[in-house]
Amino acid sequence: EPEVTQTPSHQVTQMGQEVILRCVPISNHLYFYWYRQILGQKVEFLVSFYNNEISEKSEIFDDQFSVERPDGSNFTLKIRSTKLEDSAMYFCASTPLKGNQPQHFGDGTRLSIL
């Protein structure tokens, strides 16, 4: 069964550094999402992306964050000037269409900021 693939599985970074989290959505999917889950807390929506632009973002997704689809397969989340509170599990998800569709999640990247 097709999967959403995320790399790396674990990223350790010094506070203040920039990180790029990578995702390869399922190949025929057109809508892409990033969520995060701080340890012990709920999964929270960050951003949705379609047709090379952000379609929706949460209040968490401020100027520190950006997303990009640099080529036909990858979807990236960049976090600039990382802070301790950015430590979390980051999940990528995708759907083939907009609307009433289940989102399929990758295994996540555990981001640890030191």
Partner 1 sequence: EDKVVQSPLSLVVHEGDTVTLNCSYEVTNFRSLLWYKQEKKAPTFLFMLTSSGIEKKSGRLSSILDKKELSSILNITATQTGDSAIYLCAALKFGNEKLTFGTGTRLTIIP
17/55 with CB nearer partner 1: 55
20 binds partner 1 (CB under 8 A): no
Return phi, psi of residue 85, to 5°.
Answer: -75, -5
Per CB under 8 A, the list member of 20, 24, 66, 107 interacting with partner 1 is 107
Burial category of 110 from C-beta neighbours within 10 Å (exposed 0-12, middle 13-18, buried 19 and up): middle
Which helix (DSSP H) or strand (DSSP E) does residue 105 occupy?
strand 104-105
Could you tell me how many residues of this chain bind partner 1 (CB under 8 A)? Answer: 25
Q: Which residues bind partner 1 (CB under 8 A)?
A: 4, 31, 33, 35, 41-45, 48, 55-56, 58, 91, 95, 98-100, 102-108
